[in-house]
Amino acid sequence: MRDEPVFTPSQFIDYIAKTKGLRRSALRIPQRMLMVYDLVDFRYLVDFRYLRKLAKGKAVKWWYSGQRPMCAGVYGRKRVALTCNLVGAPAACMVLEEAIAAGAREVIEVGLAGGVQPYLKPGDIIVVTGARSDEGTSRHYYPRDLEFECSSALRERIEGRLDRKLVNYYRGLVWTTDGVYRETKAKLRKFKEEGVLGVNMETSALLAVARYRGVGLASIQVVSDILSESGWLLATHYPEVKRSMRDAMRCALDALCVR
């Protein structure tokens, strides 16, 4: 991993500044950042407008011209960036790399996960302690590592905010895969026996990038579907899932900006 990259995220930000006729300093974003995902047909669930309203966010116009929106706002008297990413580890990590190059230093991901344990139900909140890698992106940063930890400082702040608001949650590992239709029964049994709580598509790769770049990253996941050996229950339309997503987004902002 000592081999030098051909092109760096910082060089990409320099390129954007040059093409737009701006100083590099004009492309700085807030150090605190909250990441959510654009689910296309499920925009009612991950309501970026709700998040933007909470932080009085204004569009960062140079950031991908709205294709992957970013806003910068103020919450709890602290500046914060809000991003709405495409789903999947490669896209999420590309956004994270570029955001770090533009100034992000503390990041909380709020996403959706499939419940793996039989006691989990739609709408349950998982505060992630770490993620097992079953995806390819993290291998480009740490070829031999299969588990990545969240920032303990950020995670403790998340838990503190949830505890104060009397919001129930589970704490534990998630399994990250980029093979959505290869979540096999054998893998499901393995991760369930190891105590993994949920499965998603981004977290382990994001944690690998955060470790590599020396920034803090934590994750809150809302259970939006249930995986079992008898089948798959999709529950994104459940009202409790939407309520929990809003609780999780507000908690993330509190943890980032309110001490």
Question: Once rounded to an integer, what is the mean pLDDT over residues 108-112?
Answer: 96
Q: Is the dihedral of CA 193, 199, 201, 206 positive or negative?
A: negative
Give the separation between CA 31 and CA 39, rounded to whole angstroms.
25
256 has a pLDDT exceeding 90: yes
Give residue 48's pLDDT. Answer: 76
Strands (E), the chain: 32-37, 58-59, 70-75, 78-85, 106-115, 125-134, 147-149, 170-177, 198-200, 216-228, 231-234
Question: Once rounded to an integer, what is the mean pLDDT over residues 152-166?
Answer: 96
Q: Is residue 3 part of a domain?
A: no
Give residue 50's pLDDT. Answer: 83
> What's the domain range around 101?
9-257
pTM of the model: 0.94
Q: Is residue 152 part of a domain?
A: yes
pLDDT in tens, 46-100: 567 888 888 988 989 888 755 678 999 999 999 999 998 889 999 999 999 999 9
Question: Once rounded to an integer, what is the mean pLDDT over residues 162-176?
Answer: 97
By the 8 A CB rule, do 84 and 37 touch? Answer: yes
By the 8 A CB rule, do 199 and 177 touch? Answer: yes
By the 8 A CB rule, do 188 and 143 touch? Answer: no
Q: Is residue 1 part of a domain?
A: no
pLDDT in tens, 190-200: 999 999 999 99
By the 8 A CB rule, do 151 and 33 touch? Answer: no
Q: Is residue 120 part of a domain?
A: yes
Number of domains the chain contains? 1
Q: Is residue 16 part of a domain?
A: yes
225 has a pLDDT exceeding 60: yes
Q: Which residues contact 81 (CB under 8 A, 6 or more apart)?
A: 29, 30, 32, 33, 34, 60, 70, 71, 72, 99, 104
Q: Is residue 2 part of a domain?
A: no
178 has a pLDDT exceeding 90: yes
45 has a pLDDT exceeding 80: no
Give residue 1's pLDDT. Answer: 57
Please tell me which residue, 8 or 65, carries the higher pLDDT value: 8
Residue 152 CB burial class (10 angstroms; 0-12, 13-18, ≥19): exposed
By the 8 A CB rule, do 172 and 128 touch? Answer: yes
42 has a pLDDT exceeding 60: no
Domain of residue 102, CATH code: 3.40.50.1580
For the chain, give the longest Cα–Cα distance.
Answer: 57
Q: Is residue 111 part of a domain?
A: yes
Question: Once rounded to an integer, what is the mean pLDDT over residues 126-143?
Answer: 97
Give residue 66's pLDDT. Answer: 59
Q: Is residue 71 part of a domain?
A: yes
44 has a pLDDT exceeding 60: no
